[in-house]
Structure 1
Amino acid sequence: MTPEQLSTAIVDVLTTLSDEGAITLPDGVPTTVTVERPRQKGHGDYATNIAMQLGKRAGMNPRAFAELVQGGLAAIDGVAGVDIAGPGFLNITVEAGAQGIVAQQIVAAGASYGTSDAFAGEKINLEFVSANPTGPLHIGGVRWAAVGDALGRVFSMTGAEVTREYYFNDHGAQIDRFSRSLLASAKGEPAPDDGYGGQYIHDIARAVIEKRPDALDLPPEESLEAFRAGGVDMMFAEIKQSLHDFGVDFDVYFHEDELHKSGAVERAVARLTELGNTYEQDGALWLSTEKYGDDKDRVVIKSDGEGSYLSGDLAYYLDKRERGFDRCFIMLGADHHGYVGRMMAMCAAFGDTPHENLEILIGQMVNLVQDGEPLRMSKRAGTVVTIDDLVDAIGVDASRYALARYSSDSTIDIDLGLWTKQSSDNPVFYVQYAHARVASILRNGAQLGLEPAGSEFDPALLSDEKEGELLRALAEFPRVITAAAQLREPHRVARYLESLAGHYHRFYDNCRVLPMGDEEPSDLHRARLLLVAATRTVLANGLALLGVSAPERM
């Protein structure tokens, strides 16, 4: 019996009590009830505080309310007992058979186990990374590659239609500085004071010359444009390839330059003007953002007729909404924290709901540490640590897992020594080893002619304490995914997998799965093999959500 099934059962009990007039709930019976694993042993298999939540609303003492729920719940098939603790906690113990059936359900569901309809019907645009094509992808952008892709997978598993989008910043002052840096390198001159350095600049400048041997002979403006166009194309191709090698691909690559060439900016300004949210002052066009919570109004079109940086944001947001996205997510680095207020004001100015139609997730810094010392620079990029530096050091699986394992609003230190260890100290090794160990047991069972229990499976056989703990952990997986989607926290999946691996190892150490010597295979062996197969399914599904492989052998 899963937490979801118990939640449904409690809702049914509450509905019956309400229909019979035993309780009166002014807001009606809730559609779901939170059911959790108790923190302490001896408090049952599951617990809920629903009586404490609803008792006072029903004009009753919570414990008296709990007693009513207790009676109805105890009569449900699969529930072995219901105890009331403290002011009204309900501790629920399920029958071994009702609990063991979870293993069979998981194996039957396979790759679909963990799916839900929590976000069904939602059309989500998930924009992440979006690094400027002025240099290799740095470690901060790599964090968003891992977290953003994992979040997209989590949203998809909860029923959403997800579009991964990369906003290609090929317009503005940074591109100008990049272009001038390339031109200076090609001429053998030092980089401009505000330009870019690093070996990659010289490599790209040489590549542009190889492709356009006449680039330095063109008139100044045309020469600069040749280096701009060629350099941006090459840098973007490299970023795109690095991300692909990292297991991250995008559905849409949106070019900022197109917004300014296509008239999208003018359309956005016209829409905001129609809504009465723009005004002219000092020769410029302003957006009234202060009335929507921003600290001041913002210039959209400057006095020289050029669009401000915000003008592109306006056009891009409107374009996404016109493409039919219900929710637009933007993932940004910590240095963009001050950007949130104006973006939410922009959302409201369009008549949308901030933090609903538009959500901005802020990610903190990532530091690489080796032998206790931080790594500060890439040999190639010169100023930052890049995606290739990280992957070369610890590999794709460890990189993705390490970056997705922590809440994105916390700064993290990635110890390169730790993440290359082949021991339980290394979280990704610990989880992958559990999967490999499970796969090995299933192979060994097959060699003995022993397969996981099928239709004849007796779930009551899985009655050992460690079997019960593992079954309850497996049953939590769908709720972990839903919570990860609702809270935008895919790191919950990683932490869950580590906990699940621990439960599996303890089960294996206490419960012999395969027969020894001349021992005849029994139904218990087959039942335990089914539990092993269920564990394999959940470990593989969870690792897939993080974009990490599930090895068969290690």
Structure 2
Amino acid sequence: MTPAKLAATVLSAARAVFETRGLDTALLPEITSVERPRNLEHGDYASTLAMQLGKKAGVAPRELAQALAAELEKHPAVKEVGIAGPGFLNIRLDPAEIAKAARDILVAGANYGHSDTLAGERINLEFVSANPTGPVHIGGVRWAAVGDALSRLLRAAGAQVGTEYYFNDAGAQIDRFARSLYASAKGDPAPEDGYGGAYIAEIATAVRSQAPDVLDLDEAEAVETFRRVGVDLMFAEIKASLDDFGVNFDTYFNEKDLHARGELQQALDRLREQGHVFDTDGAVWLRTTDFGDDKDRVLRKSDGDWTYFAADCAYYLDKRNRGFERCVYMLGADHHGYVGRMKAMAACFGDDPEKNIEILIGQLVNLVRDGEPMRMSKRAGTVVTLEDFVDALGVDATRYALARYSSDSPIDIDIDLWTSASRENPVYYVQYVAARTASVARQSEAVGLRRGDEADFRPELLVNSKETELLKALEEYPETVSRSAELREPHHVARLLEKIAGEYHRFYDEPACRILPKGDEQIGDGNRARLWLNDATRTVIANGLALLGVSAPERM
């Protein structure tokens, strides 16, 4: 029985007690919770519901606790309920009931942990969206790992998700990129406001291979050629590096298409219809201060040029017109100022800024070697890139390390730790259990130990405390997936996997919990039952790692 199901059982018992005693059921909460006690000798879970409701209902909390305990003990999964202090309920479950989770996990297989928590929601998830003026940098790497994990979590929770990369291929930064390529091709230093790094020379050389006569053109035509070809080459490289990282998007959206299709004017017209556009000094403004922004925003400058914010408005409207009810933007630490203006923009369109738009801010990441942050890339020159991260840690460790922490917290990723083959390395610790469970399965097959059919499973044999604690941890997985999806926090999955890994090691090392027969020992039902538990652990570890985009190796 999962904590959520037990909490629902406690609430159901409270309702039965209230109805029997003629108490006001309107006092009952819609939901309640149970907690793991610090001292497991007190029970498997604890509830304070009797203390919360006693005085309100006019019943002494301890008396209400006694009535609740009697009602709870009618449930087949509840072994006993103790009462402590003024009315704490200490609930002990029947280990054989807990053990049934092993069968449930293996029956569900790869779908274990999937739910309909977010069924019916259509979510557009935009992340990374690095400018096509250089390789994906360290901030984008964090969003690549977290965003891709979040998309998997949302889908596991039943949402319809469209992942999207917004390709900023219009604007001043592209002009600087093109001029930087042109300068490099001529052997000149980069413009003062341009881009440096070895990759600029590489792209410039690649442009010349596609357009050998580009330097014979006049400067304007040459720069335009470097822009057109260079941006395509840079974006192809970005997509390739993300693909190598296991991250692909449903949609790659070009900003220039918004301009070409007249969508900025369409957005302006819609906003004007809503009554939030005004004209001053030849410029066109959006009155975002009506909805909490710190200042109004220019949509079109007096010289007729569109602003970046106008493109943001058109892009949001495009997403909404494609049927996405919630648009989630994952932005870097330097984008805090966007939150107010983007939510105000949604309100200006007549949308609910608490429902239709959601902005997640990721904090800074440092890749640390020998106690010092890496500041420079051999290739990019000024920043640490996705390739630098993967070269230092590998794909699995990079993805796990970045998804393991709440994205609103700055983190240091120590290269020595995350490449070590030790229990201190979280990804190694979890993947080692994936490999060990697979090894046990292979060894079991070799000696003729097989689980058998569902009907052959004997949950009553999995009652050792080490088995029970592992089973409880495995049962937390579905609720953890649902909660992680709702909170947009993949790190909860990683932390649970580490907890499961620890419980598995304790189970595996317990002499009374041997899976494989020892010496000439005959294979018995206990061996088979523990093989169910071993394989269930493998399933949950593999499922959880898959949500994080990390492999579950069969050998290490």
TM-score tier (shorter)? over 0.9
Unaligned runs of 5+ in 1: none
Counterpart position of 2:101: 102
Counterpart position of 2:299: 300
The 5 A counterparts of 1:11-410 are 11-20=11-20, 22-26=22-26, 30=30, 32-55=31-54, 58=57, 60-410=59-409
Other structure's SS at 1:382 match: coil
For the residues of structure 2 that align with 1:401 and 1:161, how far apart are their CA atoms? 24
Other structure's SS at 2:42 match: coil
Structure 1 residue 57: deviation in Å?
5.2
**Partner deviation per Cα, 1:29-80 (whole Å, 9 max, x = no partner):** 62x4323333321231122333344455545554444333322211111210
User: What amino acid sits opposite 1:533 in the alignment?
Assistant: D
For the residues of structure 2 that align with 1:485 and 1:50, how far apart are their CA atoms? 27
**Partner deviation per Cα, 1:433-458 (whole Å, 9 max, x = no partner):** 01111111111111111112531222
Decide whether the 8 Å contact of 1:127 with 1:331 is kept in 2.
yes
For the residues of structure 1 that align with 2:27 and 2:345, how far apart are their CA atoms? 35
User: What amino acid sits opposite 2:303 in the alignment?
Assistant: D
For the residues of structure 1 that align with 2:84 and 2:21, how far apart are their CA atoms? 25
Other structure's SS at 1:258 match: helix
Decide whether the 8 Å contact of 2:102 with 2:533 is kept in 1.
yes
Other structure's SS at 1:267 match: helix
Other structure's SS at 1:42 match: helix
For the residues of structure 2 that align with 1:270 and 1:85, how far apart are their CA atoms? 66
Structure 1 residue 222: deviation in Å?
2.0
**Partner deviation per Cα, 1:476-503 (whole Å, 9 max, x = no partner):** 0011111111211101111111111000
Counterpart position of 2:426: 427
In structure 2, relative to structure 1, the CA distance for the partners of 1:180 and 1:512 (3 Å cut) is same
Structure 1 residue 87: deviation in Å?
4.2
For the residues of structure 2 that align with 1:28 and 1:222, how far apart are their CA atoms? 74
Unaligned runs of 5+ in 2: none
Structure 1 residue 106: deviation in Å?
0.7
Decide whether the 8 Å contact of 1:14 with 1:29 is kept in 2.
no
Structure 1 residue 217: deviation in Å?
2.2
**Partner deviation per Cα, 1:516-539 (whole Å, 9 max, x = no partner):** 011111111111111111101110
Counterpart position of 1:488: 488
In structure 2, relative to structure 1, the CA distance for the partners of 1:326 and 1:87 (3 Å cut) is farther
The 5 A counterparts of 1:397-476 are 397-454=396-453, 455-476=455-476
1:544 corresponds to which of 524, 546, 551: 546
User: What amino acid sits opposite 1:100 in the alignment?
Assistant: A
Indicate the larger mover: 77-86 or 439-448.
Answer: 77-86
In structure 2, relative to structure 1, the CA distance for the partners of 1:216 and 1:292 (3 Å cut) is same
For the residues of structure 1 that align with 2:227 and 2:133, how far apart are their CA atoms? 10
Other structure's SS at 1:47 match: strand
In structure 2, relative to structure 1, the CA distance for the partners of 1:61 and 1:363 (3 Å cut) is farther
**Partner deviation per Cα, 1:304-354 (whole Å, 9 max, x = no partner):** 111111001100111111111111110011011111111111111112222
1:513 aligns with 2:515: yes
Other structure's SS at 1:368 match: strand
In structure 2, relative to structure 1, the CA distance for the partners of 1:28 and 1:232 (3 Å cut) is same
For the residues of structure 2 that align with 1:341 and 1:67, how far apart are their CA atoms? 51
User: What amino acid sits opposite 2:89 in the alignment?
Assistant: L
Other structure's SS at 1:26 match: helix
Normalising by structure 1, what TM-score?
Answer: 0.97
Decide whether the 8 Å contact of 1:26 with 1:57 is kept in 2.
no
In structure 2, relative to structure 1, the CA distance for the partners of 1:296 and 1:449 (3 Å cut) is same
Structure 1 residue 22: deviation in Å?
3.5
**Partner deviation per Cα, 1:94-121 (whole Å, 9 max, x = no partner):** 1121111111111111111111111111
Decide whether the 8 Å contact of 1:419 with 1:426 is kept in 2.
yes
Other structure's SS at 1:90 match: strand
User: What amino acid sits opposite 2:472 in the alignment?
Assistant: R
Structure 1 residue 507: deviation in Å?
0.6
For the residues of structure 2 that align with 1:93 and 1:493, how far apart are their CA atoms? 26
Decide whether the 8 Å contact of 1:63 with 1:87 is kept in 2.
yes
For the residues of structure 2 that align with 1:309 and 1:158, how far apart are their CA atoms? 34
Structure 1 residue 237: deviation in Å?
0.3
Other structure's SS at 2:358 match: strand
Indicate the larger mover: 188-197 or 85-94.
Answer: 85-94
Decide whether the 8 Å contact of 2:27 with 2:53 is kept in 1.
no
For the residues of structure 2 that align with 1:471 and 1:278, how far apart are their CA atoms? 59
In structure 2, relative to structure 1, the CA distance for the partners of 1:183 and 1:64 (3 Å cut) is farther
For the residues of structure 1 that align with 2:117 and 2:86, how far apart are their CA atoms? 32
In structure 2, relative to structure 1, the CA distance for the partners of 1:178 and 1:51 (3 Å cut) is farther
Decide whether the 8 Å contact of 1:26 with 1:58 is kept in 2.
no
For the residues of structure 2 that align with 1:170 and 1:373, how far apart are their CA atoms? 35
User: What amino acid sits opposite 2:384 in the alignment?
Assistant: V
- Number of residue pairs aligned between Structure 1 and Structure 2: 553
Other structure's SS at 1:300 match: strand
In structure 2, relative to structure 1, the CA distance for the partners of 1:271 and 1:79 (3 Å cut) is same
In structure 2, relative to structure 1, the CA distance for the partners of 1:197 and 1:435 (3 Å cut) is same
Counterpart position of 1:477: 477
For the residues of structure 2 that align with 1:535 and 1:92, how far apart are their CA atoms? 25
Other structure's SS at 2:25 match: coil
Structure 1 residue 156: deviation in Å?
0.7
**Partner deviation per Cα, 1:258-286 (whole Å, 9 max, x = no partner):** 11111111111111111111111111111
**Partner deviation per Cα, 1:161-205 (whole Å, 9 max, x = no partner):** 111100001011111111111111112111111000001101111
Other structure's SS at 2:522 match: coil
User: What amino acid sits opposite 1:368 in the alignment?
Assistant: L
For the residues of structure 1 that align with 2:337 and 2:205, how far apart are their CA atoms? 38
Decide whether the 8 Å contact of 2:78 with 2:92 is kept in 1.
yes
Indicate the larger mover: 304-313 or 89-98.
Answer: 89-98
User: What amino acid sits opposite 1:110 in the alignment?
Assistant: G
Normalising by structure 2, what TM-score?
Answer: 0.96
1:499 aligns with 2:499: yes
For the residues of structure 2 that align with 1:379 and 1:422, how far apart are their CA atoms? 27
**Partner deviation per Cα, 1:373-406 (whole Å, 9 max, x = no partner):** 2211111111111111111111100110111111
Indicate the larger mover: 2-11 or 227-236.
Answer: 2-11
Decide whether the 8 Å contact of 2:139 with 2:364 is kept in 1.
yes
Indicate the larger mover: 6-15 or 424-433.
Answer: 6-15
Indicate the larger mover: 59-68 or 36-45.
Answer: 59-68
Counterpart position of 2:537: 535
Other structure's SS at 2:360 match: strand
User: What amino acid sits opposite 2:404 in the alignment?
Assistant: R
Decide whether the 8 Å contact of 2:61 with 2:87 is kept in 1.
yes
For the residues of structure 1 that align with 2:332 and 2:358, how far apart are their CA atoms? 14
